[in-house]
Each structure stands twice: as structure tokens, then as C-alpha cells.
Amino acid sequence: QIEEVNEDGQFTDVYAEYLRENAPASVFTLVREIEDTPLRCASPMDTSLRHKHAENVSLWANPNEVAELLASPEKLNKMLAVLADSLWICGMKCEDLPKNNASGRLGLNPSTSCMGCNTPHDNDRERVTPSDRQLPGLRWSELEHAVHRATMSMALVASLLCWRHASLAEGRRALETALIQWSVQINVPLELQGSFIPAPSFSAGILSLLTGIIDNCTYTRPKSANLAVGLLSSLVARRPCATLGALDCGVFVDCLKDSFDKTFHLVASSCCILDWHMGVTNILNLLPVLYYMGDWAEARRYLVGHGNGYNMPARIASMVLNMLHEVVPEMTEDGEVEINQVLTAAMDFKATPAMTANWVITKELFEGSGETIHGLISTRRAAFAIVALVEILGRWERNHGAIVSKALIPTYESRLAGEKGEPVPDCMKEYQYHFAVLLEATPGLAFALPIYNALVAAERPPLPSTAADSSVLRASLYHCALRCALPSCDKRHRRDSGAGLMGCGGGCKALARYCCAEHQKAHWKEHQGFCKRQARYVKENAEH
């Protein structure tokens, strides 16, 4: 038995060598393995090993070979074709799973035979194969294979995006552009051709297929959905304007609501530590998307309900308060505060190695953001998540016009009084002390206190600085993740001065940023449609 991880969640030297010794011949070999119809490996443990290879490409692959793969249109197209095909089949199969009407979950909620396709909690349960009667019109083995291919494909692509090797800069940019812009031809299996999909093939964008995974797999195959969220979030952080502009805003926000609700139940009402940590991981992977929702004018109408009664700001505030409630669960007999160490202490991955399966794909975006912030997302994830959500609420309130302070949180007291809910500022005021305790226990997060206090007072929150370690999101995403909006450019700073990228002054509210005026002019023809559409929504939001 090889010890896999150390206290910091990193692979031990012995296990890392074991992964290298059993790695595929190349990344493209792994792509072909994913494409194969049967599961290539013999046992659940072996297939789990292949998942680790897909999630940790930098550990075993030759960077020059990877650069060659990404520079080859033929090989890149092949990899994305395998990704697109697996995403579509997985989404279709999971959509057909019978769900419990009350929770959206499977009545049986079975785990797959491949350990790498499951959450840690699923792997900890007894594995039961559903019968044909429980899954009418669907073969469980086919679903297992579809989930395996989709999960492996997303993990491989996310791992390549996260690999910061000097020789891969051009290849990563080509991969980003392809994921955002390319449409891939999907071949429809004969048994699925019919009145719903009459054609033998059709074209689909990768982003829409990832959205479909979030929509159809959030409750049935949560690990697959979390990978899709992390991959989308990673693209939004790098190219917010191009990625968001390629999405159907209403459909995308509806899918995010499902993902957020699933996450809410994991962190707010779960009695399983593995589920709880998975919920925190989901939050961290959602953060860049939620952050840029504060700049996406078109999203405002969907965030506040748009007639369906669902209010995203209230839901996020409620999650923050539920997590804060656990920070100071009780006082000791002598009146001293007893802080919940699960939330504030460093995570011990060696004691609970299963937590390493909860992959924070967005962690790579914070490299170079300062020792404090990068250390927090590595070891104190819950505290990082709470403060990041507060920063997001502050940005939404500031940019979208009081959508947080006007939101209502349904509470027990409001239901008794026959009211829709209590105002978010009143609810947040009850937890001001808890938030202060959290900040005191985790140095480096004091910047968030004025934001929280402004939300309590229903005032316009301050904007955090872009200096290193001065915020958990704005500084990190601005300096470490954001790229020039011109697809052929990978710069993160202005060409002339080295300062931050200059924002577009049009209706997109600087969702598009550039390293120089020449690149802004070169990109205008492609950008103007999105920019002018957002200007209309800015005007509409101001009227409301």
C-alpha cells in the first residue's frame, strides 16, 4: 500500500514516481484510450489511476510533446472531438436518468464501477448496480462508459489549461481559443437517431456542451458537473468577454442555479465531512464565473429572478450565513468563544486523503497572487470561500444597483409572519460578529470587513485594491488570470507601461481588456456586437 499524499495534499515522492512509471506513452495516447469503446483498464483501481494521469498531466507528460500536440490542428481537433462527443453522450444519458421529483436526485443514486468517476462520498458507500427495471430504456454499462469518457476528457483538458510551462504558452492560447470558438461535429449513434435528433450528425460548441453537463449531471453525476463548472470558470477567468459572449445568458444562469443549489445543500445541511468539503470545492470552482456576473449587464435580470422568484444574491448570502453559523457554533461555559477548527484551521490531507479527489481547478488562477491568498486557497478553503462570496456580493451590489440589499432571505420567522423573507442586510447583521471572528482567525482577509459592513448598512460597498494580497478575487483575477481580449494575444499587462490591462470604454463595462490600443482596434469588429448588446442592458438595468 503506497501512501498517496502528504499533509499539504501533494503527492508523496513515492506515489508520484508510481504514477510516472504507469503513465501512458503520451497525452495523445491517453486521448485514444478515452476514445476506445471499452474501459481500457481492467479494474476500478486501474481506471482511477488513469483519472489521476488525466488530472495531473504535468507530473508525467513531456512538455515538448504536449506543445507539439496543441500546435497541430489535426491532433487538437481530434482531442476536442473526443471531448465534445463524450460530453454530448454523457449529457444525453444522464438526462434520461429517473429523478426523485422532490430533490432532483436519483432514487437509488448509484456510483459507477470506476472510482475516479465518483465523488469521495460515493466511493465510501456500498456499490450497487441498478437493474433494468430501475433504469427503463437505459443500460447502466452504457451510462458508466459515457460518464467515464466525459470525466476523463474534461480532466485532461483542464489539466492542460492549468499547466504553466514556458513552452506551452502558445499551445494553451490555442486550446483556450478552440474551446471558446470552435464548433465540433457530433456523430449521433444510430440508436439515438429519431424524431428528436433526425440527422446523423450536427455541430455543437464546446461551451454549450459543458453547460449541458452542468444542467444534466449536477445531481446525478456530481463529479462530472463540478469538472464542467471548473473548466468553464477557468475559461471565464482568462477570457471573460469571449466566453460569456458565446453563452446563452438565460440558459447558463439557470444551470448555475442548479449547481449552486446542490452546493448549498452540501455545505448547509450535510453531516458528512467529505460532502461538506466537496461543497466548498464546488464554491471555489464557481468563483470566477460568479465574480464576472457582477460585470455582465445581461445577467442582472436572471440573477434577481426575472419572474421565476429565484433570487441568486439572496441564495449566496444565505450560503455565507450558513457557513458563518458554523464558525462559532457555541460559547464555552466560561463565556469564551469556541471556534470551529474545521473552518479556520489548515486542512490535513494526510488524515483524510479522500479530500484530494475534490479538485480545485481554479486554484491555478491564483498562482502569483501573493503568498497569503495562494496559501489560503490551498489549505484554508472554507475561509477563502466565505470571504470570496462576500467580495462577490459586494461587487454585485456595487455594479448592479442594490440587488443584494433589496433581496429577501426566506426564514422561519418570516414564514410564521406570512412574509416572503427578511432583508439580506438584516440577516447579515446577525452574523457580523461571526465574520469578525473568522477574519481574526485567518490573517490576510481584513479587506473584506468594510465590504461586509457596507452590505449590512445597505450602502455601496468599497472596491478592493488590485495590489497583491489585498483581495481574494479582484487582485488575483486581474493580475494572474485575465488576458488581452484579442484571441491571438496572451499578455496580462499593458505593452507600454506594464500596468494592468486597459478596459474597453463601451457598454461591456470593461469585460474586454487590452494590452494596447492597436489590439482593441483589431478586435472591435468581433467585439462590437457583444459590447453594444450589453450597453442596451446597462440602460435597461438603470431604468429598473
Tens digits of residue pLDDT in 371-401: 677 778 877 888 899 999 999 999 999 988 8
Query: Among residues 457, 482, 507, which one ends one of the domains?
Result: 482
C-alpha distance from residue 87 to each of 128, 147, 274, 512 (Å):
24, 8, 26, 29
Cβ count within 10 A of residue 242? 25
Q: Is residue 153 part of a domain?
A: yes
Sign of CA dihedral 492, 496, 502, 504: negative
What pLDDT is recorded for position 41?
46
pLDDT in tens, 142-197: 777 888 889 999 999 999 999 989 899 899 999 999 999 888 777 776 666 665 56
Is residue 456 within 8 A of residue 401, CB to CB? The reply is no
- Tallying the residues shown for the chain, one arrives at 544
Q: Give the mean model confidence (pLDDT) for residues 40-61.
A: 78
Average pLDDT, the chain: 82
C-alpha distance from residue 511 to each of 245, 492, 501, 539 (Å):
10, 14, 11, 17
Of 46, 52, 56, give the one whose Cα is nearest residue 159. 56
Reported confidence tier of residue 10, pLDDT bands at 50, 70, 90: confident
Task: State whether 227 and 269 are in the same domain.
Answer: no
Q: Is residue 358 part of a domain?
A: yes
Sign of CA dihedral 438, 441, 445, 446: positive
Query: Among residues 200, 217, 247, which one ends one of the domains?
Result: 247
Q: Give the mean model confidence (pLDDT) for residues 520-537.
A: 93
Determine what percent of the chain is predicted with pLDDT higher than 70: 81
Task: State whether 442 and 503 are in the same domain.
Answer: no
Q: Is residue 252 part of a domain?
A: no
Task: State whether 55 and 107 are in the same domain.
Answer: yes
Reported confidence tier of residue 428, pLDDT bands at 50, 70, 90: very high
E-only strand ranges, 361-452: 408-409, 422-423
Is the pLDDT assigned to residue 330 strictly greater than 70?
no
Residue 282, classified by CB atoms within 10 Å of its CB into exposed (0-12), middle (13-18) or buried (19+), is buried
Task: State whether 191 and 225 are in the same domain.
Answer: yes
pLDDT in tens, 254-267: 888 888 888 888 88
Task: State whether 330 and 226 are in the same domain.
Answer: no
pLDDT in tens, 209-225: 999 999 888 888 888 99
What pLDDT is recorded for position 314?
93
Is the pLDDT assigned to residue 332 strictly greater than 70?
no
pLDDT in tens, 496-509: 777 889 999 888 98
Is the pLDDT assigned to residue 107 strictly greater than 70?
no
Reported confidence tier of residue 103, pLDDT bands at 50, 70, 90: very low
Task: State whether 234 and 347 are in the same domain.
Answer: no
Of 461, 483, 463, give the one whose Cα is nearest residue 473. 463
What pLDDT is recorded for position 354?
67
Task: State whether 66 and 154 are in the same domain.
Answer: yes
Q: Is residue 513 part of a domain?
A: yes
Q: Is residue 5 part of a domain?
A: no
What pLDDT is recorded for position 137?
54
Specify the number of domains making up the chain. 3
pTM for the predicted model, two decimal places: 0.89
C-alpha cell of residue 213: 453537463
Is residue 12 within 8 A of residue 355, CB to CB? The reply is no
What torsion, rounded to 10 degrees, do the Cα atoms 95, 98, 103, 104 define? 0
Domain ranges, residue 441: 261-482
Query: Among residues 221, 247, 273, which one ends one of the domains?
Result: 247
Cβ count within 10 A of residue 478? 17
C-alpha cell of residue 4: 498517496
Task: State whether 176 and 65 are in the same domain.
Answer: yes
Q: Give the mean model confidence (pLDDT) for residues 274-295.
A: 90
Q: Is residue 12 part of a domain?
A: no
Is residue 261 within 8 A of residue 253, CB to CB? The reply is no
Reported confidence tier of residue 287, pLDDT bands at 50, 70, 90: very high
Q: Give the mean model confidence (pLDDT) for residues 412-423.
A: 82
Reported confidence tier of residue 339, pLDDT bands at 50, 70, 90: low
pLDDT in tens, 111-156: 666 777 877 766 655 555 555 555 555 566 777 788 888 999 999 9
Is residue 450 within 8 A of residue 462, CB to CB? The reply is yes
Q: Is residue 276 part of a domain?
A: yes
Strands 422-423 vs 408-409: parallel, antiparallel or unpaired: antiparallel
pLDDT in tens, 292-311: 998 999 998 888 875 555 78
Q: Is residue 25 part of a domain?
A: yes
Task: State whether 54 and 82 are in the same domain.
Answer: yes
What pLDDT is recorded for position 46?
63
Task: State whether 137 and 275 are in the same domain.
Answer: no
What pLDDT is recorded for position 104?
41
How many Å apart are CA 298 and CA 275, to the nearest integer? Answer: 33
What are the backbone dihedrals phi and psi of residue 99, each rounded to the nearest 5 degrees, phi first? -115, 150
Task: State whether 166 and 296 are in the same domain.
Answer: no
How many Å apart are CA 169 and CA 67, to the nearest integer? Answer: 9
What pLDDT is recorded for position 5?
78
Task: State whether 478 and 489 are in the same domain.
Answer: no
Q: Give the mean model confidence (pLDDT) for residues 464-483.
A: 84
| Rounded CA Rg of the chain | 23
